[in-house]
Amino acid sequence: MKDKITALYCRLSQDDMLQGESNSITNQKDILLKYAKANNFPNPQFYVDDGFSGTNFNRPDFMRMIADMENGRVGIIITKDLSRLGRDYLMTGQYIEMTFPDYDVRYIAINDNVDTFKSENEMMAFKNIFNDWFARDTSKKIKAVFKAKGMSGKPLTTATVYGYKKSADDKNKWEIDEEAAEVVKRIFKLCIEGYGPSQIARILSDDGVLIPTAYAKEKGLPYTRTFKYPTRWCSDSVVRILEKPEYIGHTVNFRTRQKSHKNKKKIINPREEWVIFENTHEAIISQHDFELVQEIRKNRIRPQKSKEINPFSNMVFCADCGNRLHLCRSKSLTSEQEHLKCGTYAIDKNECTAHYIRTCVLSELILKEMNKLLCTVHANEDEFIRLAMEKSAENHLSELKKAKKVLSQSEKRIAELDKLFKRIYEDNISGKLSDERFDMLSSDYDNEQKQLTQAVVELEVFISDREQKSADISQFMDIVKKYEHISELTPEIMHELIEKIVVYAPDKSSGHRKQRVDIYFRFNLSTASAVLDRRDYDKKKKAA
Let me know if residue 155 belongs to a domain: no
Task: Tell me the residue range of the domain where 254 lies.
Answer: 164-298
- Measured CA to CA, the distance from residue 471 to residue 521 in angstroms comes to 12
One domain for residues 328 and 475: yes
Q: Is residue 126 part of a domain?
A: yes
Q: Tell me which of 298, 332, 356 is where a domain ends.
A: 298
| Among 270, 298, 326, residue at a domain's last position | 298
Q: What is the pLDDT of residues 127-157, one digit of tens each?
A: 656 656 555 655 555 556 556 766 777 787 7
Residue 157 lies in a domain: no
125 plus 227 within the same structural domain? no
159 found inside a domain: no
**Domains identified in the chain, total number:** 3
pLDDT (0 to 100) of residue 269: 78
3-class DSSP assignment, residue 408: helix
Q: For residue range 420-455, list pLDDT tens digits in order.
A: 888 888 888 888 888 888 888 888 888 888 888 888
Q: Is residue 158 part of a domain?
A: no
227: three-class secondary structure by DSSP: coil
Alpha-carbon distance 117 to 105, whole Å? 9
104: domain CATH number? 3.40.50.1390
Same domain? 131 vs 169: no
Q: Do residues 293 and 312 both lie within one domain?
A: no
Residue 531 lies in a domain: yes
335-366 tens-digit pLDDT: 567 888 898 888 888 889 888 888 888 888 88
Q: How many residues appear in the chain?
A: 544
Query: Do 501 and 518 contact (CB within 8 A), yes or no?
Result: yes
Q: Are 516 and 529 in contact (CB under 8 A)?
A: yes
Structural domain includes residue 409: yes
Which DSSP letter does residue 95 get? I
Same domain as 208, residue 114: no
Residues 454 and 526 both lie in one domain: yes
The pLDDT tens digits of the residues spanning 240-296 come to: 999 999 999 988 888 776 655 455 566 777 877 788 888 888 999 988 888 888 877
State which of 278, 298, 318 marks the end of a domain. 298
Element (H, E) at 371: helix 359-379
User: Are 236 and 370 in the same domain?
Assistant: no
Q: What is the pLDDT of residues 172-231, one digit of tens each?
A: 889 999 999 999 999 999 988 878 899 999 999 999 999 999 998 888 887 767 788 899
Say if residue 186 is in the same domain as residue 252.
Answer: yes
How far apart CA 486 and CA 523 sit, in angstroms, is: 20
The CATH number covering residue 187 comes to: 3.90.1750
Examine the domain organization and report whether 279 and 326 are in the same domain. no
Please count the other Cβ atoms lying within 10 Å of the Cβ belonging to residue 523.
Answer: 21
The torsion angles phi and psi of 529, rounded to 5 degrees, stand at -115, 135
Smallest CA-to-CA distance from 247 within 179, 187, 161 is with 161
Say if residues 247 and 285 touch (Cβ distance below 8 Å): yes
Indicate whether 316 and 337 sit together in one domain: yes
Separation of alpha carbons 283 and 161, rounded Å: 12
Q: Do both 319 and 197 map to the same domain?
A: no
N-term to C-term CA, the chain: 100
Q: What is the pLDDT of residue 509?
A: 79
State yes or no: pLDDT of 53 exceeds 90: no
Residue 44 lies in a domain: yes
Q: Are residues 376 and 514 in the same domain?
A: yes
Backbone angles phi, psi at 461, to 5 degrees: -65, -45
Burial class (CB in 10 A: 0-12, 13-18, 19+), 138: buried
Residue 370 has pLDDT above 50, yes or no: yes
Q: Which helix (H) or strand (E) holds 69?
A: helix 60-70
Mean pLDDT of the chain, nearest integer:
80
Instruction: Report DSSP state, residue 269.
Output: P
Confidence of residue 303 (pLDDT cuts 50, 70, 90): very low
> Of 41 and 311, which is predicted with more confidence?
41
If one compares 537 and 409, the residue with the highest pLDDT of the two is 409
Distance, in Å, from the CA atom of 217 to the CA atom of 63, rounded to the nearest integer, reads: 27
Largest CA distance in the chain: 109
What's the pTM value of the predicted model, to 2 decimals? Answer: 0.51
